[in-house]
């Protein structure tokens, strides 16, 4: 049994996370970073305010800024909370989304959910939600497909490429054929849910423009497609965007935030042992 | 400079990963005591049923009638094990909050012979062991909306209106 209070540790974690974010990108520590709403939900869950946590997880998803790990975690928690409310259909829908995003995600051990979760995992047979981009023949339209998606989850497909090429398409469940100029290739496709959360990606992300290129070569009216609101954090200068260290740092922040979220969410994990008659 | 910051972030992240702790709580069902101080379990007892129910607001433990008949919403877990076995299976991870742990000793007809309930608060002050003291009860309630099968109300996880 631990002696430290979870509130104290939570505060320490908050400070540590702020340090992690601040060490790389000070502005991010002050604003509402991508996983901010999720952290609020995790805190409520960890403190046993489950009704509040459920609302907060829904809000985190609705904010449309979750990366895959955060999205998986939110759906797992919502599945557990739904199960606690005896809403089995709703629980199953959340669990299926989590499994589609990460087929090897560990089963929730709480509240007898493990057996049902494993049954869902077997039913999906390891199928992962993935984007498929077929661009083999430059003279043919690009073919975009989404496979392994639970019904109704995918709403939008974004296709982007060089020279500011960008298409935002509504997903109807059937493969899409998109006319894309040869100069736009290689292409990149991103699959989003109804809120703009990123579900899957394929292809080659557009590279930053070469340093020193005249700004007039970038059409100002075309932005890389995004489902997120453009906030202050998106106003990076070109020199920072071009820096490979930025992307390394962003990756490290994502890892750090993920670990911190996991730790703060778990805090103390309470495990009830087998009942013994004595 | 950026590389150093990245390494710092990674170091902090790895350091944070070591903070996870698991708190295992032992669960003991305690029948009435006999003259010799040992457990005085009715001979007719066929099975034990353990139910974990989430409590909200100022709710307290559900009574024997409600527990026996499965009229306990927010049921988090339920299990039954033969009285002869003396122990059930691990319940596993339970979210923080207030919970009621109910123990029912049933005879072969699912009549309740023993009942006990203890409140469990999972927070910083959570105990390492929870004892559920049971005592004889006389309730006509059996399984509620469920069916009795040799001392076990099935489906065990069903919640009755």
Contact A260 B16 (CB under 8 A): yes
**What is each CA distance from A128 to A149, A157, A254, in whole angstroms?**
8, 17, 22
pLDDT at B20: 55
Q: Considering only CB atoms, which chain B residues are within 8 Å of A10?
A: none
Q: Does B92 touch chain A (CB under 8 A)?
A: yes
pLDDT cut 70: percent of chain A above it = 65
Task: Taking the CA atoms of A25, A30, A35 and A40 in sequence, report the sign of the dihedral they define.
Answer: positive
Longest dimension (CA), chain A: 81
Q: Which of A91, A137, A133, A89 is nearest to A111 (CA)?
A: A91
Query: How confident is residue A207, by pLDDT bands cut at 50, 70 and 90?
Result: low
Q: Rounded to an integer, what distance in angstroms lies between the CA atom of residue A170 and that of residue A147?
A: 15
| pLDDT tens for each residue of B64-120 | 999 999 988 888 888 999 999 999 988 888 888 999 999 999 999 999 999 999 999
pLDDT at A96: 93
Contact B21 A256 (CB under 8 A): no
**What is each CA distance from B8 to A205, A243, B17, in whole angstroms?**
27, 18, 14
Q: Does B36 touch chain A (CB under 8 A)?
A: no
B35-74 burial code (b ≥16 CB/10 A, e <16): eeeeeebeeebbbbbbbbbbbeeeeebbbbebbbbbbbeb
Looking at per-residue pLDDT, the higher value among A89 and A216 belongs to A89
> Do residues B51 and B77 touch, judged by C-beta distance below 8 A?
yes
Residue B87 per-residue DSSP state = B
Cβ neighbours of residue B120 closer than 8 Å, sequence gap 6 or more: B25, B98, B99, B100, B101, B126, B127, B130
Nearest-Cα residue of chain A relative to residue B7: A252
pLDDT at A42: 84
Q: Which of A149, A184, A183, A151 is nearest to A166 (CA)?
A: A184
Contact B90 A272 (CB under 8 A): yes
A80-89, A179-188, A220-229, B130-139: the lowest-pLDDT one? A220-229
| pLDDT tens for each residue of A113-163 | 666 788 888 888 889 999 998 877 777 888 899 999 998 899 999 999 888
Cβ neighbours of residue A24 closer than 8 Å, sequence gap 6 or more: A249, A250, A252, A253, B2, B5, B6, B9
Mean residue pLDDT across chain A: 72
Q: Rounded to an integer, what distance in angstroms lies between the CA atom of residue A21 and that of residue B11?
A: 13
Q: Which of B69, B24, B26, B30 is nearest to B51 (CA)?
A: B69
> Exposed/middle/buried for B85, CB within 10 Å: 0-12, 13-18, 19+?
exposed
pLDDT at A87: 77
> Do residues A107 and A151 touch, judged by C-beta distance below 8 A?
no
pLDDT at B60: 94
Q: Which of A97, A90, A60 is nearest to A75 (CA)?
A: A97
Looking at per-residue pLDDT, the higher value among A272 and A208 belongs to A272
Nearest-Cα residue of chain B relative to residue A20: B9
Contact B95 A84 (CB under 8 A): yes
pLDDT at A235: 36
A8-17, A35-44, A120-129, A138-147: the lowest-pLDDT one? A8-17
Contact B77 A243 (CB under 8 A): no
Name the residue among A48, A85, A114 with its Cβ closest to that of B97. Answer: A48
| DSSP character string of A54-100 | HHHHHHHHHTT---HHHHHHHHHHHHHHHHHTT-HHHHHHHHHHHHH
Looking at per-residue pLDDT, the higher value among B14 and A257 belongs to A257
Mean residue pLDDT across chain B: 86
Q: Considering only CB atoms, which chain B residues are within 8 Å of A33?
A: none
Does B138 score more than 60 pLDDT? yes
Does A231 score more than 90 pLDDT? no
Looking at per-residue pLDDT, the higher value among A49 and B14 belongs to A49
């Amino acid at each position: 049994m631990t002696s430290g209070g979870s509130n104290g540790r939570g505060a320490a974690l908050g400070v540590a996370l702020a340090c992690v974010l601040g060490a790389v990108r000070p502005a991010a520590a002050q604003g509402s970073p991508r996983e901010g709403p999720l952290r609020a939900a995790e805190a409520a869950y960890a403190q046993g305010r489950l009704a509040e946590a459920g609302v907060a997880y829904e809000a985190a998803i609705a904010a449309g800024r979750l990366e895959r790990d955060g999205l998986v975690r939110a759906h797992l928690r919502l599945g557990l909370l739904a199960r606690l409310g005896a809403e089995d259909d709703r629980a199953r829908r959340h669990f299926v989304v989590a499994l589609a995003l990460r087929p090897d995600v560990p089963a929730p051990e709480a509240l007898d959910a493990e057996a049902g979760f494993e049954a869902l995992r077997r039913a999906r047979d390891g199928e992962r939600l993935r984007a498929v981009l077929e661009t083999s023949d430059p003279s043919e339209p690009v073919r975009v497909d989404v496979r392994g998606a639970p019904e109704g989850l995918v709403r939008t497909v974004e296709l982007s490429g060089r020279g500011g090429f960008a298409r935002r398409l509504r997903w109807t469940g059937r493969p899409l054929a998109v006319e894309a100029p040869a100069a736009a290739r290689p292409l990149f496709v991103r699959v989003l849910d109804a809120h703009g959360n990123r579900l899957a990606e394929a292809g080659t992300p557009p590279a930053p423009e070469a340093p020193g290129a005249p700004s007039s070569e970038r059409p100002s009216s075309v932005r890389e497609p995004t489902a997120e609101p453009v906030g202050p954090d998106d106003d990076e200068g070109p020199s920072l965007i071009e820096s490979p260290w930025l992307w390394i740092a962003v990756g490290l922040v994502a890892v750090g935030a993920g670990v911190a979220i996991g730790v703060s969410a778990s805090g103390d994990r309470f495990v009830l042992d087998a009942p013994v008659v004595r | 400079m950026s590389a150093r910051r990245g390494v710092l972030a990674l170091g902090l992240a790895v350091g944070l990963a070591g903070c996870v702790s698991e708190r295992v709580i032992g669960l003991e069902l305690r029948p009435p005591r006999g003259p010799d101080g040992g457990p005085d379990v009715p001979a007719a007892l066929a099975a034990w049923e353990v139910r974990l129910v989430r409590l909200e607001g100022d709710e307290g433990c559900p009574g024997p009638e409600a527990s026996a008949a499965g009229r306990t919403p927010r049921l988090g877990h339920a299990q039954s094990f033969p009285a002869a076995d003396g122990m059930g299976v691990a319940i596993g991870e339970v979210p923080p909050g207030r919970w009621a742990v109910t123990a029912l000793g049933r005879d072969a007809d699912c009549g309740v012979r023993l009942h006990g309930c203890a409140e469990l608060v999972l927070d910083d002050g959570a105990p390492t062991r929870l004892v559920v003291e049971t005592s004889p009860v006389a309730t006509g309630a059996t399984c509620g909306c469920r069916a009795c099968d040799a001392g076990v109300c099935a489906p065990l996880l069903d919640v009755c209106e």
